[in-house]
Amino acid sequence: MRPSKPAMATSADASPTLWRVLLWPHVRRLLGMQPFWALAFAAFFKSMEMASPSHSAVPFSFLHYLAGNLIGALTTLSVAAPLWFWLARRQWQRSEPARLRHEQDGMYALLPRPTLLALALTVYLISAPAAYGLWILYLDAIGAWTAERASQASLLIAMIFHGFSMLVIFVVDLFRVKAQILHRRAEQVQRLHAQAQLQRLQAQLEPHMLFNTLSNLHARIDTQPAAAQDMLAHLIDYLRATLSASRVGSLALKDDMAHVQDYLALMQVRMGDRLKVRMDMAPEVRDVPLPPMLVQPLIENAIKHGLDPLPEGGELHIRAFRENDLLTLQVRDTGRGWASASDAPPHPGHGFGLSCIRERLMASYGGAASLHVASAPASGEPASRGTTVTLRLPLRHPLVPIPSC
């Protein structure tokens, strides 16, 4: 019998994972800002030296201050990183609330404030004299550490400057982390709002369609049993697909179109020859991911407001194709459209269904997606009348999933 494999370490005690979670993102963020801070502090300290009444005849150059700030930053990070990781890992492993605080409020919420202050003071007392000593060694190595400069250098002043630099960088980084957290929370709120809108849309779409379908099914059971059986099969497929769509954040276009086909099959049973459907989907866009139930509300609007009110019905044309770096989804009906300019809504495309789609597009794609509505009056020729709704989605934009509960 083969020995069982040891259980994998959980996220609370897996060292490689903790290193990536607790240490590397923060070190990378601080290192990325160090060139800017080194230049800023070098210019600041040089200007202070030049403005001082006791300005030396052998001043330190801008490059000397720049090297000193880079040495100070690297020394501080070299001292702070292992101490931070040791304390953060202990807190992470011992306290589940601490892990939640780190996830919700960032790195500075992981440790208690007294521990964080003690850590900062320890790092300062170790790194300040060490950085000063390394700076002197650097100046001596390049031949810039002269007796005149040695007489005007001071460990106390260096420690004051080092503490000032640490304080400024810490405060700015603290606000930066908090701004990122607030931005992330705003995105979460937007996604939750879009999720609630999707659920509200589903709640409006499904009961109305379900009652109509069941009523037609009841009327056909005795007179048209084959048609009733076919209708029931489409209804089962539709409800199964709707349930699946409510549990995922995105799905392939071909799967969303399969859901649409089940819905259209039910509508064709009810409307008969009054509803004609054409569906064209380019092969290269079949597997493009998109938010679920993005097309069906457009089709329901087209049938409910455009085709169903006309005694003769009309045609529904659904297209999906690629335009440069955009996926274009177009739903066009030959329905009644807007009888005149006065009948057009004041803000076309801002009814609940389309407004919900706009908000979901904004939550998923930002401002990179668009929705456009155009309509021609019913008095025109059948080929030119009706309403056209066009969705354009970026193909290369990362899709932010909006899962349903």
Q: What is the DSSP string of 96-154?
A: HHHHHHHHHH-GGGTS-HHHHHHHHHHHHHHHHHHHHHHHHHHHHHTT---HHHHHH--
Predicted confidence at residue 129, as pLDDT, reads 92
Predicted confidence at residue 377, as pLDDT, reads 64
Tell me the pLDDT tens digit for each residue of 160-195. 888 888 888 888 888 888 888 877 777 766 666 656
Asked if pLDDT for residue 332 goes beyond 90, the answer is yes
Average pLDDT over residues 96-122: 82
- CATH number for the domain spanning 248: value is 3.30.565.10
In a domain, 245, yes or no: yes
**Of 136, 153, 170, which one is at a domain's C-terminal end?**
153
Asked if pLDDT for residue 275 goes beyond 50, the answer is yes
Both 218 and 147 in a single domain? no
**pLDDT, the chain, mean:** 78
Both 267 and 359 in a single domain? yes
For residue 362, what are the contacts with CB-CB under 8 A and spacing of at least 6?
Answer: 190, 194, 369
Asked if pLDDT for residue 344 goes beyond 50, the answer is no
Both 147 and 196 in a single domain? no
Q: Are 262 and 237 in contact (CB under 8 A)?
A: yes
Both 127 and 214 in a single domain? no
Predicted confidence at residue 248, as pLDDT, reads 66
The DSSP element (H or E) to which 314 belongs, if any, is: strand 314-323
In a domain, 9, yes or no: no
Predicted confidence at residue 147, as pLDDT, reads 74
In a domain, 315, yes or no: yes
Tell me the pLDDT tens digit for each residue of 85-100. 888 888 888 877 877 7
Rounded to whole angstroms, what are the CA distances from 177 to 115, 221, 313? 19, 64, 58
Both 373 and 245 in a single domain? yes
Both 143 and 195 in a single domain? no
**224/42 Cα distance (integer angstroms):** 88
Number of domains in the chain: 2
Could you list the residue range(s) of the whole structural domain that residue 371 is in?
189-394
Q: Are 375 and 344 in contact (CB under 8 A)?
A: yes
In a domain, 168, yes or no: no
Both 230 and 347 in a single domain? yes
In a domain, 172, yes or no: no
Q: Which pLDDT band holds residue 122 (cuts at 50, 70, 90)?
A: very high
Q: Which pLDDT band holds residue 238 (cuts at 50, 70, 90)?
A: confident
Both 82 and 216 in a single domain? no
Predicted confidence at residue 389, as pLDDT, reads 92
Both 198 and 313 in a single domain? yes
What pTM was computed for the model? 0.50
In a domain, 179, yes or no: no
Both 249 and 142 in a single domain? no
Looking at residue 343, its amino acid is D
In a domain, 169, yes or no: no
In a domain, 170, yes or no: no
